[in-house]
Structure 1
Amino acid sequence: NELDIGAKAGFANLYMVQLGMPVLYARDTQNNCYYLGAPCDFFAKGGMLVNIPGAPEVIFIHRPEKPAFPAKIPRPPNAYILYRKERHHSIKAQRPDITNNEISQVLGRLWNSETREVRALYKQMADQKKAEHRRQYPDYQYRPRRPSERRRRNNASSDSSTATTAVTQQITA
């Protein structure tokens, strides 16, 4: 800022001889200072050079930094989710053509027909996962999406429900 045009040109010539490539002064608008360097050095820093006609200097502009969003913390699984996770692959192996929606419907029916002991076992596993989750993320608080943010799902057709009933009967048999 304090150097006159002749001094700036002198420094630029010395630096250009050292580097063996053209150099230029650029004013950094974000940090309110000047840089002397090869044009490629400015681009390497993630910015751009702007040369406004009639302006006394080239301007170095930083790219705006993207705000870092914290990683979404997953909800702890409930008893049914653990049950589904454990049994999903066996049903898919029995019926490779079945969709995930149909698998969920089949497993939902199987879950509802399970004994109290089996359901209590998965409830105990879910409580352990919940306690582990609480230790890992002490400040976690579930925040459901607003109704306007929820994804709309297509209503299942009656054909789908009869097909999954047949699949459930095949798997339980």
Structure 2
Amino acid sequence: PDYVPRPENCFIIFRNEWVRRNARGPNPNRSRGKSSAIMQKRMSKRASEAWNALPQSERNHFKTLADQRKVEHAQAHPEYRYRPN
């Protein structure tokens, strides 16, 4: 593909896991529209608060996962370089 997304950092990995554990409803990812955007903003804020409350030992777990994904990303996309617009 022309576009290769950046590898997820430790907070993004945490946020994705946190949302899966804390989202309500039969399928929280199916909703779209303005109310969904507002809900995502609220979930991100709460995930951020949870992240800031985590002890360093638990943050290190997500740092390790991010490092692993970064290595996998580099292997899958050896020519990738982050180039912001």
TM-score (norm 1): 0.40
Determine whether 1:133 maps to 2:76.
no
Partner of 2:19: 88
> Which 4+ residue blocks in structure 1 deviate beyond 2 angstroms?
none
Give the partner amino acid of 1:126. Answer: A
How many residue pairs were aligned?
A: 75
Partner of 1:76: 7
RMSD (CA atoms): 1.9
Match of 1:120 among 56, 60, 83: 60
Task: Name the CA distance, whole Å, in 2 between partners of 1:112 and 1:103.
Answer: 14
**Greater share of strand residues, 1 or 2?**
1
Structure 1 alignment gaps of length 5 or more: 1-69, 146-173
**Greater share of helix residues, 1 or 2?**
2
- Give the % identical residues: 35
1:32-47 aligned at under 5 Å gives the runs none
Moved more, 70-79 or 104-113: 70-79
Structure 2 alignment gaps of length 5 or more: 29-34
Using CA pairs below 8 Å that are at least 6 residues apart, which structure has the higher relative contact order? 2
